[in-house]
Structure 1
């Protein structure tokens, strides 16, 4: 969980789908992420060095009556409170089924990549929460059209380039899982934009008619169902 936090803003950028609030442009590609960040126990996951760290935190919150169980931790990534899995929560709501499947496939390959690192006793640097938050904000603000920070190089790079770098990094795992076909919509997103970009194009093409955006979303969501 500590390592994967670095890659999560990349997936938020791909899934952005909330550029409006109360029928108006917000200037963000994922305003939903900004709203949800005001809730407690949300946002970038805190670093837990051991399972005991996580268990102690959950124990403190449950014994004090703050939460009933670990399901009320709404971090971008968290251990599932019942099953021995990681749960990824950072994404906005995909409005196309094929894009949702593609992003889920990236998560699947990413977890396999991390598992294989662990099996080889290889480590990957864990970055500070403040740094992850910087990229998280950029993803919510600009989607795939902006830049994020490559912390290894300590420089800004186009988000599209960093997403492609991530896909290349987990390419072996994508092949191993046999999910190449499911991942293909990611390239369409990088070439033509996210749901947020499509919504904004519809909005502008219809002279700011938010109802046209709603109609577009209904049709788009029904596709492939």
Structure 2
């Protein structure tokens, strides 16, 4: 599942501003979060026992009180028997959050089906996935991600279309979440929250008050 984390970060970018300034990044929040320990793309653990052994060692060494202090972009939830996807920026519209949750659910279901059928998805080094994550942070949907299997750049939108329509299509239909996941195409056409914030800022000419107004509008959209 690590491979797809940058793809979904592209869909959720929503923090281009920091302390009143345009950072030039689509997800500056991801940069801030990177300064904390035990964050980012997790390394590969060959088994549950290996992962638990690492956690137990960190507890014994006094680094953490328990597994809740491991803040990777993807981690086994320390309480529930689930995978917790933590890579995303903040979705400012309900429909966006539901869409991304549907895609995450489908990714896990697809990988489980592959494992059940004695098939695997290739594991890539964290360093390569981090490269794609940086591209997502910097450019969001407007950038290029690396198709690590082909070792070539592709438009982020093209890779997302491939993910949703080709790789996840069957499980989305089985889960009944195709409609929710397909909202990603609306996001790819209209832009993410970060894109909308930048557009509003350009229209206003200066100041962030119009951007704040936009965030309020987005938050109320679909819930009011």
Please give the TM-score of this superposition, normalised by the length of structure 1.
0.97
Question: What is the 5 A alignment of 1:1-225?
Answer: 4-168=1-165, 169-225=167-223
Q: CA separation in 1, counterparts of 2:182 and 2:147? A: 24
Question: How well do the aligned residues superpose, as a CA RMSD in angstroms?
Answer: 0.8
SS of 1:78's partner is strand
Contact 2:164-2:181 at 8 Å conserved across structures: no
Q: Which runs of 4+ in 1 moved over 4 A?
A: none
SS of 2:75's partner is strand
Q: CA separation in 1, counterparts of 2:39 and 2:205? A: 36
SS of 1:220's partner is helix
Q: CA separation in 2, counterparts of 1:122 and 1:208? A: 54
Instruction: Give the drift of 1:184.
Output: 2.8
Which stretches in structure 1 are left out of the alignment for 5+ residues? none
Q: CA separation in 2, counterparts of 1:150 and 1:184? A: 21
Q: CA separation in 2, counterparts of 1:206 and 1:57? A: 51
Q: CA separation in 2, counterparts of 1:102 and 1:207? A: 32
SS of 2:162's partner is helix
Instruction: Give the drift of 1:61.
Output: 1.0
Q: CA separation in 2, counterparts of 1:208 and 1:47? A: 45
Instruction: Give the drift of 1:208.
Output: 2.1
Which stretches in structure 2 are left out of the alignment for 5+ residues? none
